[in-house]
Chain A
């Protein structure tokens, strides 16, 4: 009973926030509604007993993907009003295509029958007696460990590729010099001064900037060799 009520609450919020994602005027609001939708979908997974999927949804989609979206939306100067400009012109075409797709889906799902034996033919049946996190772990890290590792290699190659094709060691690029950072002392960087009440640093003689490094950073890093990219 309580599960049913919770289900309807979460479903309702999910649907409303999904609708808001596409209809909100402010793109930042859209992303925030998207995050809300993810949370509700995670709750639905929890109700269905798939706690691992629920957690993954929150961690991966909310924690990484949605935040990435948020950054993209806030940092890139995308004119959403212009993007939406085509909507008035093409809404009829879009609605027609959507309607046709919906009808097709309805026909397919309406005519779909599960063969009585099909449930026994699955490659990885739902195991009894273990949590589904453990069951997924067994499939991923025991049965399909070879494929899992190969997928890992693919990601590694993607990372190497991205670095190879885009990273350039310019003369002006500034690398972190950990040794130098650690060698800094308080005396070099901070200046203690007592201020009179109600007066800023400017009135009290100004804030003395820390001593400039002897060598300008531009030349200093040109001969540092970069991170192993000797070119």
Chain B
């Protein structure tokens, strides 16, 4: 049975339920306390993941290995950062309720289960737990038309993707007789034994998961949902679920279908190239900074998918490092976006940033660091993320991907640098409201990570190396 392997998930879920009961029973507004409990839960779960044992639990439905631990710690940090950012924003926007952190917590439990899934059923249930909480979070500002629309849109499209995923899983099960990822791997050691039905099933699974990481051509929901959802929820959307979905994609393709690389590699290459191109080109015309970040995240997922397309453990290592750097720089950028408030009202236009350098030089400097990093300019962390990915692509002989990646990075640099230009060279607009301390903390921490990653990459690289060694054996 070995249920102790799932201790982080169990403890986190129990903390979530206790927080919920506390919030319901307490008569006063308990948003602050519940948020603190949730963050405490994330810290405890992170500690348990870090100190936990490795192995298979629950008759092979659950696995704890370096790969799952790496992703879970990353998911927990992404979730903790967005929970901190949500606290003050929700209060000023009048949507502060204690269910918000509780839903984030349950969504995180789902993501942790996704990272540890070693059975298609576990994978699906984790995914649904995560998505269901996300639908509610997206429409959390229920009196705001855009937020409700975002929630509904995400619900319908994500439900469709879940259906496709489920259909693919049923095909895989029907044509192979097992839902266990390890057994699937054994079954497919000779790629010739794969029936066409199984390959069709794999394609459906790939499509369903590509939707969750919002890769082109399954990205349509991303800009609208990013724009409509309350900004802290957008931070959450852009960080933790992306890591979880990418972990799923890597695990499914890297363990069970690893021998069938030939069958799905081309598909991943096409998706990756399309995502990079769209991310670079479509973001140019955007005036809303949240939409811009949505297209930027689509592009980044395209870069990360290069590592999967390579289909080696060095490629997986590249993806994992990319996700670490992506989570921190995205959370930081959104932290800066959350600071864009005038008289308690949030503003989202890029032109609202005009002259930020003279109004708030610190914020402008940190945002500049993030923009350089997103564009992939050394010595910011974003450069190293792309470096490891392109290195893997070149080693794997996928020159096309590396070349397209470099070209789209150059195109993408245009709109990132345009934001810096707006901040530093345009006539100053009205000042933003004073930043809350929690926001400054998150922005400073992620800014330091992004700016000084080049000084201490070794622990991250070696952890990613150990995690990646589990896949594509």
Task: Give A residues with C-beta under 8 Å from B.
Answer: 121, 123, 143-147, 150-151, 153-154, 156-158, 160-161, 163-165, 225, 227-231
A163 to B61, CA, bound (A): 32
B38 CB, min distance to chain A CBs, angstroms: 14
List residues of chain A with CB within 8 A of the CB of B139.
165
List residues of chain A with CB within 8 A of the CB of B113.
150
List residues of chain A with CB within 8 A of the CB of B343.
none
A194 CB, min distance to chain B CBs, angstroms: 47
Say yes or no for B388: interface residue by CB 8 A criterion.
no
Stretch at the interface among B45-53, B95-103, B270-278: B95-103
Say yes or no for B461: interface residue by CB 8 A criterion.
no
Query: Is A160 a contact of B122 with CB atoms below 8 Å?
Result: no
Given A144-B61, A147-B122, A228-B24, is A160 in contact with B136 using a C-beta cutoff of 8 Å? yes
Say yes or no for B25: interface residue by CB 8 A criterion.
yes
Say yes or no for B18: interface residue by CB 8 A criterion.
no
Given A157-B129, A164-B136, is A121 in contact with B103 using a C-beta cutoff of 8 Å? no
A231 to B61, CA, bound (A): 42
Given A150-B129, A157-B133, is A229 in contact with B109 using a C-beta cutoff of 8 Å? no
Say yes or no for B224: interface residue by CB 8 A criterion.
no
For this complex, 6 residue pairs linking A to B, each with C-beta atoms less than 8 Å apart, are A150-B129, A157-B136, A161-B133, A225-B28, A227-B24, A230-B30
Query: Is A158 a contact of B6 with CB atoms below 8 Å?
Result: no
A165 to B97, CA, bound (A): 11
Query: Is B126 a contact of A228 with CB atoms below 8 Å?
Result: no
Say yes or no for B121: interface residue by CB 8 A criterion.
yes
Query: Is B30 a contact of A228 with CB atoms below 8 Å?
Result: yes
Query: Is B27 a contact of A154 with CB atoms below 8 Å?
Result: no
Query: Is B20 a contact of A160 with CB atoms below 8 Å?
Result: yes
A151 to B110, CA, bound (A): 10
A146 to B29, CA, bound (A): 34
Given A123-B178, A143-B59, A146-B61, is A225 in contact with B132 using a C-beta cutoff of 8 Å? no
List residues of chain B with CB within 8 A of the CB of A230.
27-30
Which residue of A is nearest B177, CB measured? A121
Which residue of A is nearest B109, CB measured? A153
Given A147-B121, A228-B27, is A161 in contact with B136 using a C-beta cutoff of 8 Å? yes
Say yes or no for B140: interface residue by CB 8 A criterion.
yes
A153 to B27, CA, bound (A): 25
Partner of A228, one of B26, B61, B110, B177: B26
Say yes or no for B142: interface residue by CB 8 A criterion.
yes
Q: Which of B352-392 contact A (CB under 8 A)?
A: none
Partner of B27, one of A143, A146, A225: A225
A146 CB, min distance to chain B CBs, angstroms: 4
A225 to B23, CA, bound (A): 13
Query: Is A153 a contact of B99 with CB atoms below 8 Å?
Result: no
List residues of chain B with CB within 8 A of the CB of A145.
58
Which residue of B is nearest A168, CB measured? B142
Extra contacts besides A146-B6, A157-B106 (5): CB < 8 Å: A144-B121, A147-B122, A156-B17, A161-B132, A161-B133
Say yes or no for B406: interface residue by CB 8 A criterion.
no
A87 to B29, CA, bound (A): 54
B232 CB, min distance to chain A CBs, angstroms: 15
Query: Is A228 a contact of B122 with CB atoms below 8 Å?
Result: no
Q: Which of B19-47 contact A (CB under 8 A)?
A: 20, 23-30
Which residue of B is nearest A122, CB measured? B177
B21 CB, min distance to chain A CBs, angstroms: 10
A144 to B6, CA, bound (A): 14
List residues of chain A with CB within 8 A of the CB of B194.
none
A146 to B142, CA, bound (A): 33
Query: Is B125 a contact of A157 with CB atoms below 8 Å?
Result: no
Query: Is B59 a contact of A228 with CB atoms below 8 Å?
Result: no
A229 to B177, CA, bound (A): 49
Say yes or no for B205: interface residue by CB 8 A criterion.
no
A153 to B26, CA, bound (A): 22
A158 CB, min distance to chain B CBs, angstroms: 6
Say yes or no for B62: interface residue by CB 8 A criterion.
yes
A231 to B103, CA, bound (A): 18
List residues of chain B with CB within 8 A of the CB of A165.
136, 139, 142
Query: Is B103 a contact of A146 with CB atoms below 8 Å?
Result: no
B113 CB, min distance to chain A CBs, angstroms: 6
Say yes or no for B128: interface residue by CB 8 A criterion.
yes
Which residue of B is nearest A150, CB measured? B125
Looking at A158, A160, A227, A228, the one whose CB has the most chain B CB atoms below 10 A away is A228
Query: Is A228 a contact of B125 with CB atoms below 8 Å?
Result: no
Looking at B27, B96, B142, the one whose CB has the most chain A CB atoms below 10 A away is B27
Query: Is B98 a contact of A228 with CB atoms below 8 Å?
Result: yes
Partner of B129, one of A121, A146, A153, A225: A153
Say yes or no for B432: interface residue by CB 8 A criterion.
no
List residues of chain A with CB within 8 A of the CB of B6.
146
A49 to B311, CA, bound (A): 50
Query: Is A154 a contact of B58 with CB atoms below 8 Å?
Result: no
Which residue of B is nearest A148, CB measured? B125
A144 to B180, CA, bound (A): 13
Say yes or no for B154: interface residue by CB 8 A criterion.
no
Contact with A along B153-177 (1 / 0, CB 8 A): 0000000000000000000000001
Which residue of B is nearest A225, CB measured? B27
Query: Is B103 a contact of A161 with CB atoms below 8 Å?
Result: yes
Which residue of A is nearest B24, CB measured? A228
Query: Is B103 a contact of A164 with CB atoms below 8 Å?
Result: yes
